[in-house]
Structure 1
């Protein structure tokens, strides 16, 4: 819900920084993989109970997630780069809830499983919509220049990052926050399905 507005604020400085990184010879894919490594380090720290310290690699990971696209725009965008970016994003988004479950399986297990299931449903609706949008040559740049068609929703990347930060700051509230956030993820998935039904029913090539 907030991504479109955030892109207007963060894209100019990210693009400037991305051009500088590109001039150093670092590739967009290297930035993507570095972001994933930092995200997994953050998840490992969470699993070991170092919640506050985990914020440092977590936020650095998300910075690199924004920078990889800026580097690609400054050099050359590739389909594989877009593929790698979304795969690494999904790995990161799954690793953080899993880490909280590992940190306290008894308290966080059920809520963590519900949250991961909601991410799975939301991801499936997102990717399914993107496939059909590509098939019909739909295009949007509301959330920046992307390799995939990004549909909006109640919960997007900005809200998810804020949620992860809140979990690290108040880990004792993981279960309560996970139930609420997971429910909203399911609502987002259903709303995307409703939109797909309106746009794609009766049109097949």
Structure 2
């Protein structure tokens, strides 16, 4: 069965240029669908109840109707070289950043962003450069399964502007998993306990 997943769609935004970091708890411990979040069901658990998010630095802004492609998190590099999100799991969970969309508004010139996912202990887990022409557009960046952090390890997703207009970029459909799921760990423990009980009965 697939892991429980959260997708941050940002569709609940109703205004532009509000600081996402100032929205209390945005993206924390998501377990149910809402206008800005879509969750999938895993093994007896939905979403990512053991992961909290910090929208580090200024530059994460709300934006509705982004170049005709709906609501997004604008990545406003104006005076800020790198903009990041910190994912912090519970000690018995790990973060897996699975995918995200990068978008450039048309007319900003040829633009390029470096993105990377890094663990506080593991170092860089995945990275790459994304480039668009003056026409703008959107692409989905899918990460390999090997980009998972360690149990209890904070993971940072960072974006660095390489070229282009500083306010013409956006993030959408940020997708991440929590592994192992709490229920998986619980069931594994129950299975181990049952095996021990069976051994005791056989030896009695």
Please give the TM-score of this superposition, normalised by the length of structure 1: 0.30
Please give the TM-score of this superposition, normalised by the length of structure 2: 0.30
Larger Rg: 2
Greater helix content: 1
